[in-house]
Structure 1
Amino acid sequence: MTSIKNFTTNINCGSCVRSVTPFLDDVEGVTIWRVDVEDERKVLSVEGTASADAIIKMVEDAGFDISPL
C-alpha cells in the first residue's frame, strides 16, 4: 500500500539533494520524494511502498543522517 513517510535529515542544499538522488531513485517502491531544505529539520518526504528501513539505509549509504519523524 502506498504511503508517505517523513524523516529528518541533514540534506541541506541543492548539492546534497543531487548527491542523494541516485540512492533514493534506486530504492524499490519509491514513487516520489522531496526534501524541504527550507525547514530547519530538512524533512525528507517519501511516497510509495518502500519500507522506512530501506529508505534509511540508502540515505545513510549516501552519507547523510536520517531519522523517522
Structure 2
Amino acid sequence: MKHQFKTNINCGGCIDKVTPTMKQHFSDDQWSVNTDHQDKILTVETDKAAHEVQQIVIDAGFKAEPVKKGLFGKLFG
C-alpha cells in the first residue's frame, strides 16, 4: 500500500538524518521524499498501516501528516 505524508523533511541534511531510521523499517526503493514539493511529500510503499509509518517518521524527529486523498481531501485538505 502507498502512503503519503506532508513532512518537514526539507533538505539533504534532513534526508541524511531520517535515512538510518527509515532503513531499519524499509528498503531504499520503498520510500522517497520530494523536497521540491511545497509540502515535502514522503511516499512509502509498505504493508504497514499509515499510523505505523507516521510514528516511525515522528520517532526519527520529523513531522508527518497524512495527505488527504479523494474529493474529501480536495475540499478539506
Structure with higher strand content: 1
Shared fold by TM > 0.5? yes
Gaps of 5+ in 2: 68-77
Q: Is the 8 A contact 1:24 1:55 kept in 2?
A: no
Cross-structure match for 1:25: 23
Q: Paired residue for 1:43, among 37, 41, 44?
A: 41
Write the distance in 1 (CA, Å) between the matches of 2:64 and 2:46: 18
Gaps of 5+ in 1: none
TM-score by length of 2: 0.77
Query: Which structure: larger Rg?
Result: 2
Q: How many residues align?
A: 65
Cross-structure match for 2:57: 59
* Superposition CA RMSD, Å: 1.1
After the TM superposition, list the runs of 4 or more consecutive aligned residues in structure 1 that deviate by more than 3 angstroms: none
Write the distance in 2 (CA, Å) between the matches of 1:20 and 1:57: 13
Deviation at 1:51, TM superposition (A): 1.5
Write the distance in 1 (CA, Å) between the matches of 2:41 and 2:22: 14
Deviation at 1:55, TM superposition (A): 1.0
Cross-structure match for 1:68: 66
Structure with higher helix content: 2
Deviation at 1:63, TM superposition (A): 0.9
